[in-house]
Structure 1
Amino acid sequence: MSGAPTDTTETDPPARRGPRPLALHLAMALATRWVARTPPPCTAASPPWSGAWPRSRQGRREARRIAAALAASGHPPEAFAAAVERRLLDRDAALLAGILAYRRHPYRRDLPEPPAPWREGGSRLLDYGGEGRLGALLVVPSLVNRAQVLDLMPGGSMLRHLAAAGLRILLLDWGEPGPPERGFSLTDYIAGRLERAVAAAAGLAGQPVLLAGYCMGGLLGLALAQRRPAALRGLALLATPWDFWAEDPVRARGLGATLEVLEPLLQAAGALPVDALQALFAAQDPAGIAEKYRRFGRLDPDSAEARRFVALEDWLNDGIALAAPVAREALGGWYGGNSPARGAWRVAGEAVAPERIALPAFLAIPARDRIVPPASALALAARMPAALVHHAAAGHVGMVAGGAAETHLWRPLLTWIEALPGRPRRRRGA
């Protein structure tokens, strides 16, 4: 074979890995097809395509209804079975096309990295600047996803929007858990690293700061606010859970029960790996991920909607492992035991009690949240009667990073901050 060697080009962007774990999502799509085609153990009244097992009772009733309607109208079941098969093949083809379109999309996040004036272990404070006339806001994300969802893309960055509106924005980037963090409990994160990050943020701002916690970060911020209220001016809790059994206790306890299966992995790795976390999230809505990729495959790849989808999926697929002690507390305590709502969640030996927090508070509750059901977050609002509750017509991620996030959250949050009593003092020379 002759000629110049093939140039793989050093400038090619790295291949995308998502949706993670890919094998699981493909297997779930295959299982859906198998369920639709496999004959049941006994099908006295239904043809093979309509009575497949396993099916829910509702699914079996629907299959019998279809079979009866076909018989009454004289349509041969074989023709219907062939139509179902074509539909299943079309769905599989659309899923694969959507995944390939995502993995080949040219969009890559390209935003300047803010300076990091404080670091500890794998964590750092990122300083987004801002005039600071409204004070300083420390933003605390979840431990299981990177913070970039709050700084997603040009024109779609919550943090840069708030900085431009007059806040000094500081973001706590938790980073990957290294050997020290893999032994961290929630107490270590809250009473240790988060407390020191708040102190560093207050030192940079020259005054107490506002704290905004997103999802799991809201629970961490809530516990911190109870421990160190003097360090804060106010508390914003964005899509923050409290009563983990409020909407579906069976599903929550089921998540808690996965801890026993995951324990050997936690002991071996010292952390819950990203793919295991992604599998737990996928189990909450098994069909949802496949369907969103089918929809993406139908989008114009040059559209703003397609670029936002790619940006969000890149974020979702670039997760962070969860320290083993935290995984045990979250799965076993929060989900399995509903410890926050029962008053049994303790940080440094003290029960976290929202009613004890007298700081001004803002609770943003997305109406279409599948990760933190509204009932779970509303249970927290009931424990904080002085808090302002903002109902956002959005989902868990859409509220902070969707196309209408400015309307759903950014402006309402700013309005609340602007109305807080007392203007923050300006540092001389700032």
Structure 2
Amino acid sequence: MDSSPTPDLVALAQSVAAPQHGPRPLPLFLGILWRETAHDPDLRRRAFVGLRRYQEAQRPSAPPPAPAIAQVGQARLLRYGVDNERSPVIFVPSLINPPQVLDLAQHSSMLRHMAAAGHDAMLVDWGAPSRQNADMDLSGHVTDRLIPLIATLPRPPILVGYCLGGTLSLAAAMLRTVAGLATIAAPWQFDGFATSDRAEIATLWQEAKPVCERLGYMPMEVLQSGFWAMDPARTIRKYAAFADMADGSDAARAFMAVEDWANAGPPLTYAAARELFEQLYAANASGQGMWTVGGTGVDPAALTCPTLSIRSTTDRIVPAAAAPDLAEDWRFPLGHVGMIVSGRARETLWTPLSQWLCSHGG
């Protein structure tokens, strides 16, 4: 089959380049779509239909924002619960993509679930870095943002870090007294990633580094392209599946909410990107016990507070083998995002995690 674009399909591709919503960067997404559907015209058609539908769909109102109780630089601490004289619980999201995945929709919000369960639940919103933050690396996000936010609280919190937020939370727990620590799909043992994925990420950084250095940051679109490269077939199939979902269904609303989140977000500072890709992904500094933050080596085995590592057995973004080994270990057959927002997340993760927090004073 000739896989070169026909004039009709080129016109269709151009017609879905609407500005309001869409995968970013759209040209790269369309290239992946074309390549992955070269031998499946029906999948190609359905994927284009799903893309157009996603771009044009009306979005429900976002949940009301939680109030900020502290701010350090661009980072804010948002409060969902109320002071109940138990340990506050700070949820620390990744620096990649917005923190709203933990508060995705009114009825699909881990933070609001935790607040309703009685926890004094809080969320770190890292904010958008400015050009002046180009030299703030991952370590700086811990020492100059996360720890000062923790210091505003009247008592030590329990930290719950998601994805890269879990990695940063491990470092914060080494430098500041906390009442407990839980990580969710946190990358730590970077040799636990597939060799092909690490090679793909290394190539991505090598190609993007000169431009990122000049800009002072890594655009979100570069990071998104790396995620797509890990599983391009799934990237296309999910849009084809969206074409078949009923209007207004829970599945359709969930798809749009997750995709809007995945296609949004501020850039990563240049120094943070360099540390992430060169020290962690390439050198596995954390897994080798060589990662230092604030002059202190980060060693999960040295933590004396209660610790819990939650990992997914079906995660392509952070494989189970890449998560840290902590005092307790939970494994779930849900994906990287599914364990946070899927229909099964409440019973599979939210409720057991709430019980674990309660058992440790949160």
Query: TM-score scaled to structure 1, two decimals?
Result: 0.77
The match for 1:18 is 22
- Give the residue type in structure 2 aligned to 1:120: V
Shift of 1:214: 0.4
Tell me which of 102, 106, 115 is aligned to 2:67: 115
Shift of 1:33: 4.8
Shift of 1:260: 2.3
Q: Say if 1:254 and 1:302 are closer, same or farther in 2 by CA, change over 3 A.
A: closer
Structure of higher CA gyration radius:
1
3-state SS of the aligned residue for 2:71?
A: strand
Q: Say if 1:418 and 1:347 are closer, same or farther in 2 by CA, change over 3 A.
A: same
- Corresponding position: 1:233 with 2:166: no
3-state SS of the aligned residue for 1:197?
A: helix
The match for 2:161 is 213
The match for 2:269 is 323
- Corresponding position: 1:376 with 2:319: no
- Give the residue type in structure 2 aligned to 1:102: Y
2:50/2:240 contact within 8 Å kept: yes
1:253/1:335 contact within 8 Å kept: no
Shift of 1:267: 1.6
- Corresponding position: 1:261 with 2:207: yes
Q: Which structure ranks higher in relative contact order (CA pairs < 8 Å, sequence separation ≥ 6)?
A: 2
The match for 1:391 is 331
3-state SS of the aligned residue for 1:245?
A: helix
Q: Say if 1:399 and 1:109 are closer, same or farther in 2 by CA, change over 3 A.
A: farther
1:236/1:361 contact within 8 Å kept: yes
The match for 2:150 is 198
Shift of 1:120: 2.1
Tell me which of 350, 353, 357 is aligned to 1:410: 350
Q: Say if 1:250 and 1:294 are closer, same or farther in 2 by CA, change over 3 A.
A: closer
3-state SS of the aligned residue for 1:150?
A: helix
Shift of 1:180: 3.0
3-state SS of the aligned residue for 2:131?
A: coil
Q: Say if 1:162 and 1:287 are closer, same or farther in 2 by CA, change over 3 A.
A: same
Shift of 1:131: 5.6
3-state SS of the aligned residue for 1:135?
A: coil
2:97/2:220 contact within 8 Å kept: no
- Give the residue type in structure 1 aligned to 2:150: V
Shift of 1:32: 3.5
Q: Separation in 1 of the partners of 2:258 and 2:61?
A: 10
The match for 2:9 is none
The match for 2:76 is 124
Q: Separation in 1 of the partners of 2:197 and 2:223?
A: 16
The match for 1:305 is 251
The match for 1:48 is none
- Give the residue type in structure 1 aligned to 2:163: C
Please list every run of 5 or more consecutive structure 1 residues that lacks an aligned counterpart in the other structure.
1-13, 37-87, 425-430
- Give the residue type in structure 2 aligned to 1:25: F
Q: Say if 1:117 and 1:134 are closer, same or farther in 2 by CA, change over 3 A.
A: closer
Q: Separation in 1 of the partners of 2:201 and 2:89?
A: 33
Mapping for residues 171-182 of structure 1, pairs under 5 Å: 171-182=123-134
- Corresponding position: 1:348 with 2:300: no
The RMSD of aligned alpha carbons is 1.7
3-state SS of the aligned residue for 2:192?
A: coil
3-state SS of the aligned residue for 1:319?
A: coil
- What whole-Å deviation, never above 9, does each CA across 1:219-246 have from its counterpart, x for those lacking one? 0000010111x2x110011111111122
Aligned residues: 345
Shift of 1:138: 0.8
Identify which range, 90-99 or 344-353, moves more after superposition. 344-353
Identity of aligned residues (%): 35
1:140/1:212 contact within 8 Å kept: yes
